[in-house]
Amino acid sequence: MEKFFKNKTVLVTGHTGFKGSWISKILSKWNANVIGYSLEAETNPNLYDLLKLDENVTSVIGDIRNLKLLKKTFNEYSPEIVIHMAAQPIVRKSYENPVYTYETNVMGTVNVCECIRECENVESFLNVTTDKVYENKDKNHSFSEDEKLDGYDPYSNSKSCSELVTHSYNNSFFKEQGIKCSTARAGNVIGGGDFAIDRIIPDCVRASINNENIIIRNPHSIRPYQHVLEPLLIYLTIVQKQYHNEKYAGYYNVGPDDVDCITTGEITDLYCKYYNKNNANPIKWINKSDNGPHEAALLKLNNQKIKDTFNWKPVWNIEKAVEKTVEWTKSYINNEDIIECTTNQINEYLKQKGD
């Protein structure tokens, strides 16, 4: 893939976020011309600044709801590939501010699609949504791509709408224009450098830094966890493959195997296992419900389609994913070279993957 992306102009929305920073690092490592469009990073510290990505990325700070500025960015840089990851991604925040969530996740997608429709250079487009787009009745069942889209909460529902917007633009415009379009419904990702609120691994990291107990709201909730490099490399595979052949364009679940769908308590146990190894100040977790809003108790994805289409299989299982997350976190806490640590993890993953 490195050869394919060299000198390609790739526009990444949400580039200052957790996944956006990792994918920008990979693409810049491969000498792609990365154009980022996003708000300023929400947290301090944040991965984008820690990796000094402004040295490698052309960064446009703007709101995805600002169609005028987004069009100006497309017109100025004429991207060949677009990866849309800008979003309001937090379930709880969507309950607190549903209007902003819908404006960002739905109209933001409309704006991106509209810019692509008017841009002559775009060949390949990927909209990254979420595993929460499906109608979920908490049954012991893995969702496949042909099931009903109907997220429960404002975040999940807005992402369902984002999928439908993409489908409509694809059917109405992109196919006729020869623009290859896919969506990726990704599971819960973990990895070094995620400092977001209301996510279990960042909560673990903050507890580690402050030497406090980890607070868990719903220890029995089951989620499909995977290291951030797993979905990012299949995203890049999708945009590469469909760039050359429209048969690869489609709607894909990007999640781990069922064996890596584990409870919040289990993933926190794994974090503590690796963090406490050779650590004079071990940490632990405690269950403390805060009577928050509804969240699904069970969520699994059927990943067979992406396996069959791209001959894909996970590289790092959940235990390895947590181990690498803790490795990165300890490097950060110990003020080690975080750029070197991140680069080494990317290289290790690619070597094991065979790229």
> In terms of Cα–Cα distance, which of 237, 227, 234 is closest to 193?
227
In this predicted structure, which of 143-152, 178-187, 223-232, 275-284 has the lowest mean pLDDT? 275-284
> In terms of Cα–Cα distance, which of 129, 40, 35 is closest to 85?
129
pLDDT (mean) for 177-196: 95
Instruction: Choose between 233 and 89: higher pLDDT.
Output: 233
pLDDT (mean) for 329-355: 95
pLDDT band at 291 (very low <50, low <70, confident <90, very high): low
Cis peptide before 202 (omega within 30 of 0): no
CATH number of the domain residue 113 falls in:
3.40.50.720
pLDDT (mean) for 22-36: 98
Tracing tokens 């070197």 back to the chain, one arrives at 340
Tracing tokens 């950060």 back to the chain, one arrives at 332
Taking 80 as the threshold, does the pLDDT of residue 346 lie above it? Answer: yes
| pLDDT at residue 232, rounded to an integer | 98
pLDDT (mean) for 88-100: 94
| pLDDT at residue 140, rounded to an integer | 76
pLDDT band at 288 (very low <50, low <70, confident <90, very high): confident
Amino acid occupying residue 213: N
Domain span at residue 193? 2-353
pLDDT digits (tens, 9 = 90+) for 245-286: 999 999 999 999 988 999 999 999 999 999 999 888 899 999
CA distance 111 to 253: 24
pLDDT (mean) for 109-130: 97
Q: Which residues of 312-333 are buried (b: 16+ CB within 10 A; e: fewer)?
A: bebbbbbeebbbbbbebbbbbe
Give the rounded percent of residues in the chain with a pLDDT score beyond 70. 97
The token duo for 222 is 């089951």
In this predicted structure, which of 57-66, 104-113, 167-176, 196-205 has the lowest mean pLDDT? 196-205
CA distance 339 to 345: 10
User: How many whole angstroms from its chain centre is CA 70?
Assistant: 21
**Dihedral angle sign, alpha carbons of residues 215, 153, 307, 234:** negative
| pLDDT at residue 197, rounded to an integer | 87
Tell me which range, 69-73, 213-217, 298-302, is most confidently predicted by mean pLDDT: 69-73
Tracing tokens 């065979």 back to the chain, one arrives at 354
| pLDDT at residue 181, rounded to an integer | 98
| pLDDT at residue 290, rounded to an integer | 62
pLDDT (mean) for 227-244: 98
CA distance 283 to 293: 27
Taking 90 as the threshold, does the pLDDT of residue 49 lie above it? Answer: yes
Q: Which alpha helices (H) appear in the chain, and where do they start and end?
A: 2-5, 18-29, 47-50, 67-77, 91-96, 98-102, 108-118, 154-169, 175-177, 200-210, 229-244, 264-275, 304-310, 318-333, 338-353
Total domains present in the chain? 1
pLDDT (mean) for 135-146: 88
Taking 70 as the threshold, does the pLDDT of residue 146 lie above it? Answer: yes
| pLDDT at residue 294, rounded to an integer | 64
